[in-house]
Amino acid sequence: MSSYLNEKLESIYQEVLHRNPGETEFHQAVREVLESLGPVLVKYPEFADQKIIQRLCEPERQVIFRVPWQDDRGQIHINRAFRVEFNSALGPYKGGMRFHPSVYLGIIKFLGFEQIFKNALTGMPIGGGKGGSDFDPKGKSDGEIMRFCQSMMTELYRYLGEYTDVPAGDIGVGQREIGYLFGQYKRITNRYESGVFTGKGLDWGGSRARKEATGYGTVFFLDEMFKVRGDSLEGKTCVVSGSGNVAIYAIEKITSLGAKVVACSDSNGVIVDKDGIDLALLKQIKEVERRRISAYVQEKKSATYMEGGNIWTVPCQIALPCATQNELNGKDAKILVDQGCIAVAEGANMPTTPEGIHVFQRAGIAYAPGKAANAGGVATSALEMQQNASRDLWSFEYTEKRLQEIMVDIHRNCYETAEEFGASGNYVVGANIGGFLKVASAMVAMGVI
Ligand code: NDP
Ligand code: 2IT
């Protein structure tokens, strides 16, 4: 299912397909943005004259390199790594690194492309980029993870810098990996350049509330959508896919605001706990012991585990997809709506397929796309850069307050922009146009570069 593009945008899209064969996730992300931009080109013809959209769809720089490393038995492995420096109109390239076997150029490009608009929406001075590798961290020892990170950084360091490109975490990359990557960067460059990485540990340049920021921010955005509708999160039943960094802190915040989370998942299965997910137990299993989510039912007998189950079949009023791209399709969306779901906010990047989005929008439920709803993570990364620049460390309360203000602003911008362009209540249109306008204006101002 796809909507209509006018002739100009259709020809730009065809060119993107032609220039980037086989990169289906990138095509999907581009198409979704282009579908919102028709009225923008009518109002601002200079963006078409200046070929802003064509320039935005072509990364400024793409790096692909080999990462050889040795496992604990001395066997040699070769992985492939990427850094796509997509757009630096608003600041240094900024975006996470993903370690997952599914990673290839098309995934990094879709993520980097989304990141341009997301970062613009935060109002912070950050451009868009993304990186990663097809390295699978599952089942690897700490030593293997360290050697992989060191080998990766031995090449990657050349392209980074606090004024150039500032990576962070994403799937499979948390504080442990960032420690190894930052350590090797520091060693090679002989510079303690805190601002070159975000998501660092608190003792070595990290920011309070960065770990919590993406999940918390998604719930702050959701809360704003409920306020607009004269409703609240209090007493609502919720399901959250995934059980990683974003999922855990979305569960923490929404629970503290009075909702009950009855299910979460990993790529093997789904747990359902009618009493509400036990957050302390979940953190112990996932953050401390790094075990599979199935371990939850061994500790809590009242919960159930569905191996290979589909989390979207669990009845709920709120769905928070916090795992990965295209994890919620048209059929899932229909099941959710039919079972009484009234709101969806994306903690993950592009988790809902175009068909799924269409189902939500036709049903008129509150739907927040990831580039708006999960922007709290990168926004707090920008707050971390700000603290690094001033050699400061803010309190948790102050940092969380800043994060909440940013999410309220992003919500307002998306809401008002959708109104202005005749798409009231459509946060996809609001986010795409809101982000695009900031980047496009900066690009025009800087000339043909
Ligand atoms: P984590 O690695 O901490 O957790 C990822 C979770 O998603 C795990 O439960 C994982 O299960 C599940 N998952 C990953 N890939 C798949 C897959 N192919 N199929 C099914 N389940 C999968 O990552 P994060 O929580 O950091 O990231 C989750 C999402 O949020 C991603 O889309 C990421 O891009 C996005 N995001 C992250 C931000 C951040 O600050 N970390 C900021 C903004 C967005 P399993 O363990 O079985 O693989
Ligand atoms: O998708 C994302 O916004 C992230 N993974 C966080 C990026 C960042 O630089 O904090």
**Predicted confidence (pLDDT) per residue in 381-439, tens digit:** 999 999 999 999 999 999 999 999 999 999 999 999 999 999 999 999 999 999 999 99
**135 located within any domain:** yes
Residues 45 and 65 in one domain: no
Q: Which residues lie below 8 Å from residue 338, measured CB to CB, with a gap of 6+?
A: none
CATH number, domain containing residue 291: 3.40.50.720
Token readout for 56 is 């935005």
Phi, psi of 327 (to 5 degrees): -90, -5
Residues 42 and 172 in one domain: no
Identify which of 133, 140, 170, 197 to mutate to test ligand 1's pocket (most ligand atoms within 8 A of the CB). Answer: 170
Q: Which residues lie below 8 Å from residue 10, measured CB to CB, with a gap of 6+?
A: none
Residues 87 and 184 in one domain: yes
**399 located within any domain:** no
Mean pLDDT score of the chain: 97
Ligand 1 center from residue 343 Cα (angstroms): 21
Domain boundary among 148, 163, 193: 193
**298 located within any domain:** yes
Residues 217 and 354 in one domain: yes
Nearest CA to ligand 2 atom 3: 378
**230 located within any domain:** yes
Where are any strands of DSSP class E within 88-232? Answer: 93-99, 128-133, 165-168
Residue 1 confidence (pLDDT) above 50: no
pLDDT, tens digit, 9 for 90 and up, residues 30-59 = 999 999 999 999 999 999 999 999 999 999
pLDDT, tens digit, 9 for 90 and up, residues 91-143 = 999 999 999 999 999 999 999 999 999 999 999 999 999 999 999 999 999 99
**376 located within any domain:** no
pLDDT, tens digit, 9 for 90 and up, residues 226-247 = 999 999 999 999 999 999 999 9
Task: Kindly report each contact of residues 231-238 with a partner whose C-beta sits within 8 Å and lies 24 or more positions away, as own/partner.
Answer: 231/342, 232/258, 233/257, 233/258, 233/259, 233/318, 234/258, 234/259, 235/259, 235/260, 236/260, 236/317, 236/318, 237/262, 237/315, 237/316, 237/317, 237/318, 238/262, 238/316, 238/317, 238/318, 238/319, 238/320
Exactly one of 94, 118, 130, 253 is catalytic; name it. Answer: 130
**110 located within any domain:** yes
**429 located within any domain:** no
Ligand 2 center from residue 216 Cα (angstroms): 14
**160 located within any domain:** yes
Residues 36 and 73 in one domain: no
Active site residue 260: no
Token readout for 38 is 């028709």
Q: To the nearest whole percent, how much of the chain has pLDDT over 70?
A: 100
Residues 226 and 359 in one domain: yes
pLDDT of residue 4: 79
Q: What is the total count of domains within the chain?
A: 3
Q: Which domain holds residue 40?
A: 3-57
Residues 223 and 363 in one domain: yes
pTM above 0.95, yes or no: yes
